[in-house]
Amino acid sequence: MIARSHLHVLARFSALFGGRLAGAVAMLATTLLIANFFGAAALAEFALYTSAVSILSVVLLIGFSQIGTLFAAEYSAKQQLGRLKGFIITSIAHVAAGAAIVAAAGGLLVAFAPHLVSPERLPFFALTWLAAIATAGLYLIGSIMVGLKQQVRGLMPETLLRPVMLLAFVLLAAIAAAVDDIITILMLHALTIWMSLGVALFLARSKLAELLALPAAFEPGRWRRAAYPWMVISVSWDFMIDMLVLLTGLIAERTDVAVLYVCFRLRVLAGFGMRSIYLLMISNVAGSKAVGELQLMKWRLGEINLASIIYAAAVMIVFTLTGTWLLSWFGEEMMVGYAALLVIASAMVSRAVFGPAPAVLAMHNLHLASAIVMFAGLAVAATLVLTLYPHYGVLGVAIAYAVANFLVMGVLWRHAKAKTGVDCSIFAAGPPAAAWLQSMRLAGR
């Protein structure tokens, strides 16, 4: 029975991770198609659009998608599904109100300051607005379904179905030569998000029907207190790449935006290995902390540190040897981003060296500190982009990203060590890492 349970968990994890990885590959392939069939300028527009959609969707939810899993799991365990219904209603109300405010602000801008918005840009903004609403819905449903232990049904529409459908649509458009402007591609993107939302609602229909039959109960104060720090964390950290792409789009040539976007897509794809290490191993750390086995916790942190630093070093070696070749897939103009790609990838080394400090802080309910530090990191990155881009181009943006990552991880590591007494960095040299480092020192003598 235990073996069967473990196999079930492994199969579910494999499906989730495989789906995420396949979705990331599909997005990279879509980027490749747009770059080669429609050009760097079109790719830059696509990059700005997708980044704006991601950021706006998170803002519309004001962090409710980040806490949805936690509250769904709590209310399900306590048989308080009426409160989960209230949580969903409140989340939808926030999205509706936020979308209305954005639409009203846009309408006022067009009416009273038309010189600030050219008519040819209106479809871009309208599609961004429409896609952000559907994306917010996908994020919300996904987080709720994960909390209800329906991970595959909750996440696959957003992580796998949407990027695969978009790849199929763009591929058909490229083959048929039926598209001559990027707006049509953006329309296809918005369509795939709404289609994916429809599939997500269909897969969640039984759970939603159960909730609809219950009276709603509300804890808005508690939800908002939990959500606001997570919105800051999500925008500042999870979507830092999107924020930097948008900022760069305000000051950079479209070709530079395209180069930066390609470098970031490669970085995101490489990051799946690091993420898998944390997904597989961080729960063991949390379990050790929960039962008070601090020595075992340090050992397991050492395992994470060793695995992540080896993986980060391997990524750096691969990008150093093949970076120019990988960039050439997207067009000759992308090859100038080789140095930027290496600098961007170096952020993985910073994260590996300082260890899972955000997770350690989260285990001790120190979310606010993480939010403040990550927001400060985004501010540092933005300042450096504005300072360095005029002198170094795309490389300047890459430096800003790498420096911000280094500072954020360093500060969070020090804060976690001071507040919790846990040194989660490679410097702690937990038993696995210490043994490896000691062997390396002896070999060097």
Other CB atoms within 10 A of residue 393 CB: 20
pLDDT of residue 29: 94
pLDDT of residue 343: 97
CB neighbour list of residue 239: distance below 8 Å, 6 or more residues apart: 51, 54, 55, 58
| Matching residue, tokens 């990550």 | 374
Cα 105 off chain centre by? 27
Would you say the C-alpha torsion 375, 381, 407, 234 has a positive or negative sign? positive
Cβ-in-10-Å burial (0-12, 13-18, 19+) of 292 comes to exposed
Letter for the amino acid at 356? P
CA distance 301 to 309: 12
Mapping DSSP to helix (H, G, I), strand (E, B) and coil, where does residue 149 land?
coil
- What's the pTM? 0.88
pLDDT of residue 421: 82
Helices (H) and strands (E) in the chain — how many of each? 18, 0
- Backbone φ and ψ for 433, nearest 5 degrees, come out as -70, -40
Other CB atoms within 10 A of residue 219 CB: 16
pLDDT tens-place values along the chain, 445 residues long: 445 545 555 566 677 677 788 888 999 999 999 998 888 999 999 999 999 999 999 999 999 988 888 888 888 888 899 999 999 999 999 999 999 999 999 999 888 877 777 788 899 999 999 999 999 999 999 999 988 888 788 888 988 999 999 999 999 888 877 666 789 899 999 999 999 999 999 999 998 888 888 999 999 898 998 888 889 989 998 899 999 999 999 999 999 999 999 999 999 888 887 877 776 666 566 556 555 666 666 777 777 788 889 999 999 999 999 999 999 999 999 999 999 999 999 999 998 899 888 877 877 777 788 889 999 999 999 999 999 999 999 999 999 999 999 999 999 999 988 988 888 888 775 545 445 444 444 444 4
CA distance 40 to 222: 46
pLDDT of residue 119: 80
CA distance 355 to 380: 21
Question: Are 162 and 19 in contact, with CB atoms under 8 Å apart?
Answer: no
- Backbone φ and ψ for 178, nearest 5 degrees, come out as -95, 0
